[in-house]
Structure 1
Amino acid sequence: MAQVLVIANINCDHILRLNRPLQTGARIHYEEQGFRLGGGGANTSLGLIWAGHKVQLLSQVGEDERGDWLLEQASRQGIDCSLVHRHVGPTQALKLLMDPSGERTILRPNRPRLMLPPALDTQGFDAIYVNLSAEGLAPMMAQAMDQGALLISQLPKDLGRRPCHYLITSADDLTPHKVEDPWSFALSIAGPQLKGVIVTDGDKGATLFNAEGQQHCPACEAELVDSTGAGDCYAAGLLNGLVKGHSEVEAMADAARWAAYAVSAASSVPPDSLRRHLHRG
Structure 2
Amino acid sequence: MANILVVGSISTDLVVNADRKPEIGETIEGKEFQTFFGGKGANQAVACARLGAQTAMAGAVGEDEFGIRLLENLTYNQVSIDQVVRIKEHASGTALITVVEGDNSIIYVAGANRQFTPEKLFQTEEQLERLKASDIVLVQNETPVKTIEKLILTCQEYHVPVLYNPAPARLISEEWIEKVAFLTPNETEFKVLFPDKTMEEMLFKYPSKLIITLGEDGAVFCNGEKIISIPAFPVERIVDTTGAGDTFNGAFAVAYAEGKTIEESVRYANKAASLSIQRSEAQNGMSTLENLKAFFK
Q: TM-score range by the shorter chain?
A: 0.7 to 0.9
Equivalence map 1:54-203=2 (5 Å): 54-87=54-87, 88-98=89-99, 104-111=104-111, 112-116=114-118, 117=120, 119-120=122-123, 121=128, 122-132=131-141, 133-134=143-144, 135-155=146-166, 157-160=169-172, 161-162=176-177, 163-176=179-192, 177-182=194-199, 195-203=208-216
Give the aligned residue type for 2:151.
M
* Structure 2 runs not aligned, ≥5 long: none
1:31 paired with 2:31, answer: yes
Give the aligned residue type for 1:268.
A
Task: Report Cα offsets for 1:114-136 as digits up to 9, x if no partner.
Answer: 21325451211111011133324
Residues 186 and 41 (structure 1), Cα distance of their counterparts in 2 relative to 1, 3 Å cut: same
Aligned residues of 1:39 and 1:268 also touching (Cα < 8 A): no
- Secondary structure class of the residue paired with 2:149: helix
**More helix per residue:** 2
* 1: CA distance, partners of 2:18 / 2:275: 23
1:224 paired with 2:230, answer: no
Among 285, 293, 296, the alignment partner of 1:271 is: 285
- TM-aligned CA deviation for residue 43 of structure 1: 1.7
- Secondary structure class of the residue paired with 1:82: strand
TM-score (norm: length of structure 2): 0.79
- TM-aligned CA deviation for residue 184 of structure 1: 6.5
Aligned residues of 2:186 and 2:212 also touching (Cα < 8 A): yes
* Structure 1 runs not aligned, ≥5 long: none
Task: Report Cα offsets for 1:97-154 as digits up to 9, x if no partner.
Answer: 45666x7554312432421325451211111011133324324323323423231111
* 2: CA distance, partners of 1:277 / 1:141: 34
* 2: CA distance, partners of 1:205 / 1:29: 40
- TM-aligned CA deviation for residue 173 of structure 1: 1.7
- TM-aligned CA deviation for residue 249 of structure 1: 1.5
* 2: CA distance, partners of 1:106 / 1:209: 35
- TM-aligned CA deviation for residue 186 of structure 1: 8.0
User: More displaced, 146-155 or 249-258?
Assistant: 146-155
Aligned residues of 2:57 and 2:84 also touching (Cα < 8 A): yes
* 1: CA distance, partners of 2:136 / 2:14: 31
- Secondary structure class of the residue paired with 1:197: coil
User: More displaced, 43-52 or 268-277?
Assistant: 268-277
The runs of at least 4 consecutive aligned structure 1 residues that moved more than 6 Å come to none
